[in-house]
């Protein structure tokens, strides 16, 4: 279960590393990109997790967000897992929004997906334990964020584990998969037809069922082509208002769904997280 280094390069005085390991959760080899700031050479540093969106891998955030400079200044590790299991024998679908690259950060219960698509167990349990055992990370100080499908993952994992993450944010998250085409396609195929089983993977449903976070930060571009049909941030606004959760929803005029959008505001999120992580 130990980490093997795939690639490593110096970056802003720290190290940008891609690791691989055999996962018991997914039954496949998995990869994760980790930036260790220069402060990690002196001892454990807080961790900022970023969960990527549909079609992405562990490389997208590491290569496109431009987060390492600020993370190095703050002394913050960046952790970017892959979005799904991959490899020979892993079931797939020809569409981009289901199967490989579209794990939705859930544990599938329906065949054939249930054999490998166990991203909830992987992200919530297996990967944190592995990284904590092998890297200089302060796991008492963790923040969680993500983009699109990964924003959905960040919100739902954060809501299910409120004591683990001191800060939770998202970029253009799928606010309610139970109420959008992406989720209405993926959830029944992964989890079966019982909508009650879907609620653990819907931020708005989790909040309605009693899950709480003290505050959430969300960025949303107004020119995002998925805004009205897929993302629906107004549903998260309503859920947080009714539950008394402090939601800061920044609607960014003219920004779309791309990593140019993420790169424009990632420094704000890193500083917001670092303040809550005691940096």
Query: So which residues are the catalytic ones?
Result: 148, 224, 257
> In 3D, which of 180, 134, 174, 129 has the Cα closest to residue 154?
174
Residue 116: φ, ψ to 5°: -125, -30
Residue with tokens 């992405």: 56
Helix (H) or strand (E) holding 265: helix 259-276
DSSP lists the bridge partners of residue 146 as 51
Q: In whole angstroms, how far apart are CA 218 and each of 7, 168, 172, 210?
A: 32, 9, 7, 20
Residue with tokens 């390492």: 68
Written as one string, the DSSP assignment of 202-247 is -HHHHHHTT---SEEEEEEETT-TTIIIII-HHHHHHHHHHHT-EE
Q: SS3 for 67?
A: coil
Can you tell me the distance from the alpha carbon of 141 to that of 183, in angstroms, rounded to the nearest whole number? Answer: 31
How many other β-carbons are positioned within 10 Å of the β-carbon of residue 157?
23
């Amino acid at each position: 279960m130990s980490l093997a280094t795939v690639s490593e390069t110096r970056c802003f005085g720290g190290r940008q590393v891609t690791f691989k390991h055999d996962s018991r959760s997914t039954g496949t080899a998995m990869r994760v990109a980790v930036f260790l700031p220069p402060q990690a050479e002196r001892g454990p540093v807080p961790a900022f997790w970023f969960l990527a969106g549909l079609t992405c891998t562990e490389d997208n955030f590491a290569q496109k967000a431009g987060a390492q400079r600020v993370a190095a200044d703050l002394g913050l590790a960046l952790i970017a897992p892959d979005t799904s299991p991959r490899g020979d024998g892993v079931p797939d679908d020809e569409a981009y929004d289901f199967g490989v690259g579209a794990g939705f950060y859930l544990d599938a219960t329906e065949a054939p997906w249930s054999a490998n698509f166990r991203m909830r167990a992987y992200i919530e349990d297996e990967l944190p334990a592995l990284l904590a055992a092998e890297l200089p990370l302060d796991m008492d100080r963790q923040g969680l964020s993500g983009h699109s499908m990964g924003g959905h993952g960040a919100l739902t994992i954060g809501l299910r584990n409120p004591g683990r993450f001191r800060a939770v944010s998202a970029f253009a998250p799928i606010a309610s998969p139970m109420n959008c085409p992406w989720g209405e396609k993926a959830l029944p195929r992964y989890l079966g037809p019982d909508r009650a089983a879907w609620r653990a993977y819907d931020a708005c449903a989790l909040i309605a069922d009693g899950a709480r976070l003290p505050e959430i930060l969300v960025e949303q571009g107004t020119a995002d082509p998925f805004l009205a049909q897929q993302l629906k941030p107004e549903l998260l606004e309503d859920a947080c208002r009714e539950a008394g959760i402090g939601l800061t929803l920044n609607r960014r005029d003219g920004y779309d769904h791309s990593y140019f959008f993420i790169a424009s505001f990632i420094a704000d999120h890193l500083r917001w997280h670092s303040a809550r992580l005691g940096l």
